[in-house]
């Protein structure tokens, strides 16, 4: 009995009682956190998947998904937010002086107290994520007739990504919280620490692209959930920003892309009638286990450092702001840098931008310091940070604005170049381009053209680059100023971007990017159509459209031959596709390439006659159609189509009304896709207009053309035109030849043809070059 009483009063027994008491207390205080997390992740990750699982077992496919696509953001962003919230709650007592004194006097060692709190919070972060992932796994096991090993590999990788991503953010938050004295400091400094690489990259990218001529780096957060690239890469003709180049180095975003990529796996059978495990092709990449291991080491290192700081934390800082001077000063300097970078987007001259940036940075530094340290007293000890920050920014601005003392303006000699690539904005139907949403409009994004290797081609590239290098570093001309006529139209500076990339004979690579250029120079770039490299690219694209890529239908990346459509360019009404044999398609390709090679730039981009036919490889105005308006300069192609009896020359429709609008290039901040100046006819008979006619309606006053002058207008209209020269877009109301006065619109019909026959008139948009306007219309335009 004495021995038992002695054991119960021993220090070791007392420590164990305190340990279990603290553990039970922590769990009782915060048990609701994992419950809330589990409910949230079930609602966004599991419930939508459970509702549609039946559709995943259809014949011909074996699909595995951990959650329904479209919920990526709700999961990816929730992981760091939830982890930070758990850290803030579990270590909240550090912000209260009385609670801190109580906990530090419990008799349990600080190291043990930290271990209890840290491990409890880590379990609270990991448990909801693990439950959600297990729920997805068991749900898939219930419906999959065969569960492939690659399914489990993807599930395991995504599960570990979520767990490590959550614990990385949690460990960083705990580390920062141990240095802070107030809740506001813990929240703000944790947020800044979690996105610090992204924030510094945005600051650097914004300053570089604003002050350094030819800088290839950009800034932006638009692709955080897209593939990670190291260094400066060019995707769809647009340079990946520094922000996207460093997104693997922050606990906030390193796991975003891989979660989206690996959470789903698709198998497709070669024959839908065969068993699901006899013939399949895998479309999944290899997991990045090295990256995962690196962040697991970060979790351990952050936890160890937090443990050491927790043991040395002074209890008296609880409830007092500004106790950690390094964090406060770093935050103030960061605010100054951010303000300087943000003010470089002002639409003013370069010297004024730098001046505004310096004053703004100084004000931000003082204001952020006053907030962090509760007053201006901090300047007595840290006043050197003010002139140091301002002086450093001024020196950096001067050095960058000189192009690193002329280095960025260097253009290599032709003899130094092995090959070159360059973006330019020509005919998107013949170039490697894709269409993406930019704002509310569909914008064409151009891929780099080339590679150019011949001496003649390289001389053209170098000549154009020299003109780009001589351009002043200036902002674009706003659409309002262009519409008001404040500058000559061809002198208006518009968004590019244009990038040039050289591979030199010594093995080095030189990359330059120019965000803006005048319309006159954009027109000069069209001469690249006359190089040796571009016609080869035309042939490859047209051949791909006409014959497909030769892959089997079940292969990933399969592209079939496109249907061929012919339209009346003045009506653009639906027509059945042409039924051409393989030999006839080859003849059509030969005719197109021969006509394109003999056309002048004037013929193709600034035609003097309207198109006779519209040839579209793919349904016109689909996201991926290749539309060629055949003017009389397409002699061989027109002769081939007419000789085959495939089409007769269309009749011009009866025009009832015409309204002209000035075309104004879309120039605004954030529009980084470049100008799609190759305008083509469109209309309400097409489901998706091919260019933003409403921009012209906003900036240019409509000009109604009198009915008696319509006969003078029609011969001047064009179906395609390159808008580096002034042009009007003309809205035409024409008689609909498909109109059936007895037809009634069926609200339940999904057929566009059923809708068209109920419309007495159609609206067509065509183009009117300013230099083609007859004298009789000058007074109205």
Residue reference for tokens 């159509």? 529
| Residue 149: φ, ψ to 5° | -60, -35
Query: Would 121 be classed as within a structural domain?
Result: yes
Q: What is the pLDDT of residue 757?
A: 78
Query: Would 56 be classed as within a structural domain?
Result: yes
3-state helix, strand, coil in the chain (%, to 5): 50, 15, 35
Domain boundary among 317, 338, 358: 317
Which residues neighbour 89 within 8 Å (Cβ) at sequence distance 6 or greater? 30, 33, 121
Query: Would 419 be classed as within a structural domain?
Result: no
Q: How far apart are CA 277 and CA 364, in angstroms?
A: 63
Q: What is the CA radius of gyration of the chain?
A: 33
Cα separations (Å) of 173 from 116, 118, 551?
A: 16, 11, 50
Q: Are residues 74 and 136 in the same domain?
A: yes
For residue 528, how many other CB atoms are within 10 A of its CB? 21
What residues form DSSP beta bridges with 501? 421, 511
Q: Are residues 201 and 233 in the same domain?
A: yes
Q: What is the pLDDT of residue 164?
A: 96
Q: What is the pLDDT of residue 104?
A: 61
Q: Are residues 52 and 162 in the same domain?
A: yes
For residue 539, how many other CB atoms are within 10 A of its CB? 17
Query: Would 678 be classed as within a structural domain?
Result: no
Query: Would 477 be classed as within a structural domain?
Result: no
Torsion of CA 360, 364, 366, 372, to 10 degrees: 180
Which residues of the chain fall below pLDDT 70? 1-19, 21, 54-63, 97, 99-108, 144-148, 218-240, 266-285, 316, 322, 375-383, 385-386, 432-448, 551-558, 621-624, 646-648, 668-675, 683-700, 746-753
Query: Would 217 be classed as within a structural domain?
Result: yes
Query: 475, 548, 543, 554: which is closest to 515 by C-alpha?
Result: 475
| Residue 700: φ, ψ to 5° | -115, 130
Q: How far apart are CA 769 and CA 727, in angstroms?
A: 4
Task: Report pLDDT digits (tens) over 213-249.
Answer: 888 776 665 545 444 333 333 444 445 578 877 888 8
- Say how many CA atoms lie within 13 Å of 198 toward its Cβ: 18
What is the per-residue DSSP string for 614-641? Answer: EEEESSTTSTT-EEEEE-TT-HHHHHHH
Q: Are residues 229 and 346 in the same domain?
A: no
Q: Are residues 179 and 51 in the same domain?
A: yes
Which pair of tokens denotes residue 648?
A: 């007769």
Domain boundary among 361, 391, 407: 407
Q: Are residues 227 and 287 in the same domain?
A: no
Q: How many domains does the chain have?
A: 3
What residues form DSSP beta bridges with 564? 578, 617
pTM of the model: 0.75
Cα separations (Å) of 727 from 449, 694, 717?
A: 27, 15, 10
Q: What is the pLDDT of residue 493?
A: 87
Q: Are residues 110 and 175 in the same domain?
A: yes
- 233 is in which domain, residue-wise? 197-249
Q: Are residues 48 and 69 in the same domain?
A: yes
Domain boundary among 407, 432, 463: 407
Query: Would 381 be classed as within a structural domain?
Result: yes
Q: What is the pLDDT of residue 97?
A: 67
For every residue of 291-306, which 3-state class applies, written as one string? Answer: HHHHHHHHHHHHHHHH
Q: Are residues 388 and 279 in the same domain?
A: no
Q: What is the pLDDT of residue 324?
A: 80
Which residues neighbour 157 within 8 Å (Cβ) at sequence distance 6 or greater? 258, 262, 287, 289, 292
Residue reference for tokens 């696509």? 69
Query: Would 166 be classed as within a structural domain?
Result: yes
Q: Are residues 189 and 109 in the same domain?
A: yes
Q: Are residues 232 and 310 in the same domain?
A: no
Report yes or no: 75 and 48 within 8 Å, Cβ to Cβ: no
Q: Are residues 210 and 267 in the same domain?
A: no
| Residue 419: φ, ψ to 5° | -160, 165
Task: Report pLDDT digits (tens) over 270-284.
Answer: 333 222 333 334 444
Q: How far apart are CA 533 and CA 432, in angstroms?
A: 13
DSSP 326: H
């Amino acid at each position: 009995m004495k021995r038992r009483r002695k054991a119960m009063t021993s220090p070791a027994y007392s420590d164990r009682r305190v340990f279990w008491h603290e553990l039970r207390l922590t769990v009782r205080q915060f048990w609701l956190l994992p419950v809330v997390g589990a409910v949230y992740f079930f609602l966004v990750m599991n419930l939508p998947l459970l509702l549609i699982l039946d559709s995943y077992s259809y014949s011909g496919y074996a699909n595995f998904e951990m959650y329904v696509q479209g919920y990526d953001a709700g999961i990816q962003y929730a992981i760091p937010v939830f982890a930070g919230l758990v850290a803030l709650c579990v270590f909240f007592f550090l912000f209260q002086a009385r609670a801190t004194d109580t906990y530090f006097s419990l008799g349990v060692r600080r190291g043990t107290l930290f271990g209890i709190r840290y491990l409890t919070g880590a379990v609270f972060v990991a448990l909801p994520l693990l439950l959600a992932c297990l729920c997805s796994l068991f749900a898939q096991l219930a419906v999959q007739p065969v569960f492939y090993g690659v399914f489990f590999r993807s599930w395991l990788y995504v599960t570990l990504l979520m767990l490590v991503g959550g614990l990385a953010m949690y460990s960083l938050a705990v580390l920062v919280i141990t240095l802070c004295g107030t809740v506001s400091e813990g929240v703000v400094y944790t947020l800044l620490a979690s996105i610090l690489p992204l924030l510094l990259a945005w600051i650097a990218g914004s300053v570089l692209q604003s002050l350094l001529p030819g800088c290839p780096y950009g800034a932006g957060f638009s692709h955080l959930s897209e593939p990670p690239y190291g260094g400066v890469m060019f995707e769809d003709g647009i340079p990946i920003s520094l922000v996207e180049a460093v997104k693997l180095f922050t606990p906030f975003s390193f796991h975003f892309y891989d979660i989206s990529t690996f959470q789903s796996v698709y198998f497709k059978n070669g024959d839908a009638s065969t068993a699901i495990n006899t013939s399949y092709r895998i479309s999944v990449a290899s997991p990045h286990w090295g990256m995962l291991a690196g962040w697991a080491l970060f979790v351990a290192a952050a936890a160890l450092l937090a443990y050491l700081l927790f043991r040395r934390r002074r209890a008296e800082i609880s409830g007092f702001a500004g106790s950690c001077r390094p964090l406060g000063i770093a935050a103030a300097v960061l605010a100054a840098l951010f303000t300087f970078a943000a003010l470089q987007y002002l639409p003013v001259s370069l010297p004024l931008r730098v001046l505004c940036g310096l004053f703004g940075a100084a004000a931000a530094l003082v204001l952020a310091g006053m907030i962090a340290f509760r007053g201006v007293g901090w300047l007595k000890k840290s006043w050197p940070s003010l002139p140091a920050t301002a002086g450093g920014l001024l020196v950096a601005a001067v050095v960058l604005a000189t192009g690193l003392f002329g280095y960025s303006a260097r253009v290599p000699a032709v003899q130094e170049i092995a090959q070159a690539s360059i973006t330019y904005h020509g005919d998107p139907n013949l170039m490697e381009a894709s269409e993406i949403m930019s704002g509310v409009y569909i914008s064409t994004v151009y891929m780099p053209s080339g590679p150019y290797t011949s001496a003649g081609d390289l001389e053209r590239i170098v000549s154009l680059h020299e003109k780009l290098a001589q351009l002043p570093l200036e902002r674009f001309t706003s659409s309002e100023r262009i519409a008001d006529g404040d500058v000559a139209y061809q002198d208006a500076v518009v968004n590019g971007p244009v990038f040039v990339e050289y591979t030199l004979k010594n093995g080095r690579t030189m990359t330059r990017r120019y965000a803006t250029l005048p319309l006159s120079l954009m027109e000069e770039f069209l001469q690249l159509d006359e190089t040796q490299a571009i016609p080869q690219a035309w042939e490859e694209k047209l051949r791909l459209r006409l014959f497909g890529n030769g892959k089997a239908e079940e292969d990933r990346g399969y592209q079939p031959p496109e249907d061929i459509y012919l339209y009346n360019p003045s009506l653009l009404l639906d027509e059945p596709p042409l039924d051409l044999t393989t030999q006839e398609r080859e003849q059509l390709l030969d005719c197109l390439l021969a006509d394109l090679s003999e056309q002048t730039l004037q013929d193709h981009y600034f035609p003097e006659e309207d198109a006779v036919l519209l040839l579209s490889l793919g349904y016109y105005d689909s996201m991926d159609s290749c539309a060629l308006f055949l003017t009389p300069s397409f002699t061989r192609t027109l002769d081939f189509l007419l000789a085959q009896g495939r089409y007769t020359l269309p009749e011009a429709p009866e025009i009832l009304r015409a309204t002209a609008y000035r075309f104004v290039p879309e120039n605004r901040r954030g529009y980084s896709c470049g100008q799609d100046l190759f305008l083509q006819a469109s209309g309400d008979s097409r489901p998706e207009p091919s260019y933003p006619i409403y921009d012209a309606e906003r900036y240019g006053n409509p000009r109604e053309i009198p009915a008696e002058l319509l006969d003078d207008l029609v011969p001047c209209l064009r179906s395609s035109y390159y808008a580096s020269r002034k042009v009007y877009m003309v809205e035409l109301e024409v008689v609909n030849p498909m109109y059936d006065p007895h037809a009634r619109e069926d609200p339940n019909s999904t057929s566009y043809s059923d809708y068209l026959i109920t419309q007495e008139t159609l609206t067509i948009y065509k183009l009117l070059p300013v230099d083609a306007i007859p004298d009789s219309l000058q007074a109205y335009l």
